[in-house]
Structure 1
Amino acid sequence: MFLVGLTGGIASGKSTVSIMLREIGCQFIDADVVARQVVEQHKPAWTLIVKHFGQDMLLSDGNLDRPKLASCIFGDENRRKLLNSCTHPYIQKEIMWQIFVHFIKGYKFVVLDIPLLLEGSKLLRYINSVVVVYCDGEAQLQRLMQRNSLPEEDALKRINSQMPLEKKKEFADYLIENSHGIEETRQQVRHLVIRLQQSKAHLWLRIPFLLLLLGFIFIILLGVKKLCL
């Protein structure tokens, strides 16, 4: 099994592409969903966030006030790093567990939807193919302003706080342009899935795993033999 990293920029259309991939039947791990799960009430990451950011970050029902927390760290690099230190280890652990489960089930590839894949994610080292969803700058700006009801200045601040889409494109193995109509994007997604299904990467990646498994079995058998002597 090999891993496909799906990423993009804010309002670039990554969510649209992820929905299309799911509709086609691709196996999917969504980092945003995992991130919400690990900070559920009284889980370790939740406890760390409350410890470092205070009870003010909680709603009346005890759950995290996510918009307030996001506002608290926006533009503050130190607070952002502190929050990441509270959540990222648990996010990565859960994602690795889900990857293992998909591997055991025998899937050829799994898509990992990771918004900040290229901004220092430790999972990047395990990714075989990077897919970047992009659109032109004007389309990105207009979509963000409309989607979040933001004035142009605030929308630009959010866009500029991320790695530029043009820079992300340099790291891509596959590109999906989402500047035009939905059907054009859908055609690109279908073409992508065909290429992924035709890939032989999963065969090469199984070799080291099988060698590791054989070594593990050999160690067990050697231990059993010693017990029998």
Structure 2
Amino acid sequence: MATAVTKFRCGTCGEVLGLPGETASKVVRCGKCHAVLEVPEQARVNQRRRKAQAAVGDADEVGFQLRNRRGDDEDMDLTPMVDVTFLLLIFFMITASFSLQKALEIPTPDPPNEGAAQTLTIDDLEDTSVIVRIEADGKIYVDDELLPNQDALIDRLNTIMRDDRKTDMVIEAANEVPLRTVVFVYDAGNEIDMQRIRLASPPEEG
């Protein structure tokens, strides 16, 4: 910003003299006649007024620049934040685990025979079906033979299918048997391609 200059005339030679804004002395030397002159009171008053106005102008300019700087900060680029949000969303979608619910398919009776009695006993089916009995304590019997553990079930079923030509399976489980054990036996029959798997009611006590 330009420095304010207060002008007055030399009383000796009439030369116009300028009083720069930073000059605070009450006397100046004339550049033409070299006379030492006292600065008029009015000139000093005008100089102080101009200096104060110049200071106010500088303060306004600084304030305007600060407001512009705040405006630049408020105009943020949200693109990186949006990118990070989508990456997190994709990550959680990929790593989420989905549980597969198992269900047992229970065939419904044929419509023409709905009213007819179709009760079959274990004795009626034992010639063509593998009878798998599950006791309340979790023990599994395949055709009245106790399995040493559940892992031996598939091998035992395969042996019976090969040797005895039985392609159906009947599951007879006690009322206290957990459902997961019944599902395990049912899945084993499906795994070796049993043609038909039936669920039999446990014998009534007494």
Fold agreement, TM-score > 0.5: no
TM range (shorter): under 0.3
**Which structure dedicates a bigger proportion of its chain to helix?**
1
**Which structure dedicates a bigger proportion of its chain to strand?**
2
Ranked by relative contact order (alpha carbons within 8 Å, sequence separation 6 or more), the top structure is 1
Q: Which has more radius of gyration?
A: 2
